[in-house]
Amino acid sequence: MAPAPSALCEPAPLQPEQARLLLRALADPIRLQVIEALGDGERCVCDLTSELGLAQSKLSFHLKVLKETGLLADRQSGRWVYYRLQPAALERLRAWLATLAASCTAPASPCS
């Protein structure tokens, strides 16, 4: 039996180790600035360099970390590289946090 169409669109649940990697990547202030800068859509690395006031080598390091975690995707056009957020990765992290939020109010079991 084939899965329901909505099941095909839902991302796989985020495992705790994957969540730690994403959160670690987002914990750096520069990487968080990059994420925020890409919140309005795809951007050329040249625009990010000037907007964030970073040397290209420093920015490239942070972009590489974000790309390795799956938070960013890139494409090359001529000599420039364009970066964009990966909505599915953000959605998986949001869903993982929502699961925590939904269960964090459960009372503790009585101690014996």
Name the maximum alpha-carbon separation found in the chain. Answer: 68
The rounded distance, in Å, linking the Cα atoms of 30 and 83 is 15
Q: What is the pLDDT of residue 112?
A: 80
Tell me which residue of 43, 95, 47, 51 sits closest to 72, measured CA to CA.
43
Classify 108 as helix, strand or coil.
coil
For 32-61, what is each residue's pLDDT tens digit?
999 999 999 999 999 999 999 999 999 999
Helices 45-52 and 29-37, axial angle in degrees (round to 10): 120
Contact in structure between 31 and 48 (CB atoms under 8 Å): no
Q: Is the pLDDT of residue 5 over 80?
A: no
pTM of the model: 0.81
Rounded to an integer, what distance in angstroms lies between the CA atom of residue 84 and that of residue 40?
A: 9
- What tens digit of pLDDT does each residue of 63-89 get? 999 999 999 999 999 999 999 999 999
Q: Where are the domains of the chain?
A: 15-93
Position 104 scores a pLDDT of: 82
| pLDDT for the residue numbered 8 | 54
Q: Does domain 15-93 have CATH number 1.10.10.60?
A: no
Please give the pLDDT value at position 16.
87
